[in-house]
Amino acid sequence: MRTAVVCALLCAATLPGPSAAAYAPKAPPAVSVTVTVTDGADDAESGKRLDYRITVHNLGATEVHGARIEQRMPATTTSATAPGGTVEGHGVGEQKAIWRSDLPAHDIQVFTATAVLGGRSDLAAASAGPAAPGTLRAAATVCVYVGESFAPTACSGDLDDLPETSPEGEGGGWMGWAAAAVAMALLGPGVVRAVRRRRAARAG
C-alpha cells in the first residue's frame, strides 16, 4: 500500500496535468442554423396569453444531431406551455421552454409555446423587491445549442410593449386609501390635497 501511494505521488508529479483548455467552454460546432421567434403581436398586457412560433432552419447539407432549443419566457410570465418539449421553472420570471430535436439537412422545424403574463406586482412579490426595469417590455429569447456547447449556435428574440398602467390591483384600491389615510394623519390634510393636485396635473 505504501509503495502504491509513493508511485502514485511520483506519477502525479511527473505526468502533465490537464490543460486549461480542457476546462474552457466548448465552442459551438461549425453548423449553419438559424432561428426566429414571434408571437404575432406588438404589445401585451397583464393576463394576456402570448402564442409563440419558433422556426429553426438547418441551412447546411449535413444533419445536426441532438440540437437543444431553449426559450426564455418574459419576466412577468406566470405560466407557460411547450408542446413537444418541457417547461422548467415555476416561479414568476423563471419559466424556460426546452425542446430537443435532430435537424435534417436543409430542414425547417416549427415549435410552439405559450406564456400567460402577470403584472409587474407579481414580479415584485416574487423577487421581494421592486419590479425589474426590463418589465416595460415582454421579452422572449430563443437560442439553439448543438452538441455539448455552452455557447448558442443561433439566437433570436421577440419584444412586446407593456403599457404603463396602474390598475387597482397594483397600487390602487384599499391600499391607496390606506396610504392616503396614513399620510393625512402624519402630515395633515393640506399636504395630501397638494399631492393629489400635483398628481392630477401630471396626469392631465
Whole-number pLDDT of residue 29? 62
- What are the cell numbers at 130? 421592486
Distance, CA of 90 to CA of 26 (rounded, Å): 29
pLDDT computed for residue 85 by the predictor: 97
Would you state the pLDDT for residue 203?
Answer: 52
Edge-to-edge order in the sheet of strand 86-88: 86-88, 96-103, 64-72, 137-145, 154-161
DSSP 3-state helix, strand, coil percentages of the chain (rounded to 5)? 30, 35, 35
Q: Which amino acid is at 53?
A: R
Using a cut of 0.75, tell me whether the model's pTM lies above it: no
pLDDT along the chain (204 residues), means of 10: 35 45 57 95 90 97 95 93 93 85 96 89 47 66 90 94 58 41 47 46 52
CA dist 71 → 133, 142, 149, 186 (Å): 21, 4, 17, 49
